Structure 1
């Protein structure tokens, strides 16, 4: 195997064709340089230089070797640079899970910011509901998640990045639409499209706790996982639903929205990651995202 120090000595000497100048450029004296060249020639079994009077020139073998030796040094430098950048979290791949709500605005803006701040990190996106992201962390198929905070047996850390009020969605012309704000007690006995207690666990528990605090008993007609499907059933007149404010962005016709009255619960969006993760790229992305969302909230 070639000694890169010897190869470097050869390339500098071959470029300068003057051992004294080459030695100076390498911060060494001429005898050690000559010794390194001789060792390299011995290893290769060829003569790389020949002296003609007081000058030095490359042999045919030396000219052939110079091109490959130069590429070898360049590849070595590139490898060293790549390792250093990877250790600093400037290169690599980050697998990001996100909910549909985060995918509307938060994730596109974040990925754009990441492309500018961390251009050599490959961001791979997976749209998953919050429960599925917990499962993905367990299966080690995502590194960071943007989700509703849920309890997990995984060692996960959560950072709140956004929150929004809950609102009531109702069919156009519904009696409740006559009010500017809806009190939770007005929902008592209403046909209700509710988030699934399994896949929509976060919203199910939050909404049921809010209604239960006012002794409200909705008439739940359907349990649904996804916001857009709840809106479709509301539009069809099958009931009302409680959704995060961002649900209005879906622009469903024949659906009206009203804010809830009083001190109501809010829908949280958190960034999650495994506590034991040690990927520098993931850490760099997480810190960048944390700074990005902190700045976003200050706007």
Structure 2
């Protein structure tokens, strides 16, 4: 049989008061049961904890060590209860966020800022991925939420649409167009079109290709790369043009200008995805804030 937390509390009260009567009063209990509890603790531990004199009691070496360690145990236990409670309330803990690169030009930074402002003790892991990687990571529980473009399709996922925006063209700043600030894609079919990601597929590249096909446009000169940032770098050096979400144009980039596509090509949606069986309060809090920020942005 082991000493339990209640018995440890009894012992500490007596050890600090060095008086059974005062300790019993502090514990709001009668003295005889307290004396029996201390005796039981000594028997269970096989050690005398108090030197009992006629007018006073003192701690033995074993009692002094138990007092020292016992106070640490109780303090650690109380700290653990508080930590568990805060984790249960979503006040602290860890949240792993996967995201497509283009989301950093739009609403994602505002969502992260708002969440950090409300949950200062939460640790956030931000992991850039393409859609296929996001899907696999969410299935294997390597991430908790995923910002995807377009939405991840899986019966085990919950998808929340955060916003919709048109596609625009990222072009070298040397590209000449017939219309200022706008471009007709039909006039650019001889250009190289930089698409991303190269794999795995299907991906945003396929969304772009399908959108062009719907308007009777066939992109023949295709240059595939792995991510948006590399695609924009290739545009900047004149390797070709790239179709991107309009929000990407909010950030200045040397050598690149962003043009409206006329007639419009298509709209792209940014979605927040998480597992259907997700029960964590951290995810619920994050989704709530993301949707609130999204509503204010629209």
TM-score band, normalised by shorter chain: 0.7 to 0.9
User: Which residue is equivalent to 1:81?
Assistant: 82
**TM-score by structure 1 length?**
0.82
Deviation at 1:60, TM superposition (A): 4.0
CA distance in 2, matches of 1:77, 1:213: 63
Give the match for residue 259 of structure 1: 260
Residue aligning to 2:72? 71
CA RMSD of aligned residues (A): 3.0
Q: Distance in 1 between matches of 2:258 and 2:295?
A: 25
Shift in Å at residue 211 of structure 1?
Answer: 2.8
CA contact (8 A) 1:184 1:214 kept: no
Write the mapping of 1:100-249 to structure 2, written as runs, cut at 5 A: 100-103=101-104, 106-153=107-154, 155-176=156-177, 178-187=179-188, 189-196=189-196, 198-199=199-200, 201-248=202-249
Q: 1:290 — aligned with what?
A: 288
2:180, 2:109 → 1: CA distance?
35
Mean Cα deviation higher: 24-33 or 80-89: 80-89
In structure 2, what is the Cα distance between the partners aligned to 1:233 and 1:82? 49
* CA deviation profile, 1:79-119 (whole Å, cap 9, x unmatched): 33333333333443332212222345755554454444334
- 1 CA distance for matches of 2:144 and 2:91? 16
SS of 2:127's equivalent in the other structure is: strand
Seen in structure 2, the aligned counterparts of structure 1 residues 219 and 114 have a Cα distance that, compared at 3 Å, is same
Match of 1:62 in 2: 63
Aligned residues, how many?
Answer: 295
Q: Between 33-42 and 151-160, report the one with greater CA deviation.
A: 151-160
Q: Does 1:276 align with 2:277?
A: yes
1:13 and 2:14 equivalent?
yes
In the alignment, is residue 98 of structure 1 matched against residue 96 of structure 2? no
1:44: Cα distance to partner?
A: 2.1
- Residues 236/56 of structure 1: CA separation in 2 closer, same or farther (3 Å cut): closer
Q: SS of 1:175's equivalent?
A: coil
Q: 1:145 to 1:31 in 2, by over 3 A?
A: same
Distance 2:174 2:120 in 1: 50
Q: Hey, what's the Cα distance between the residues in 2 that align with 1:65 and 1:218?
A: 78
Flag the 1:112–1:240 CA change in 2: closer, same or farther, 3 A.
closer
Residue segments in structure 2 that go unaligned for 5+ positions in a row: none
Partner of 2:25: 24
Q: What's the CA shift string for 1:170-206, capped at 9, x where partnerless?
A: 233433263333345545x342414257547443343
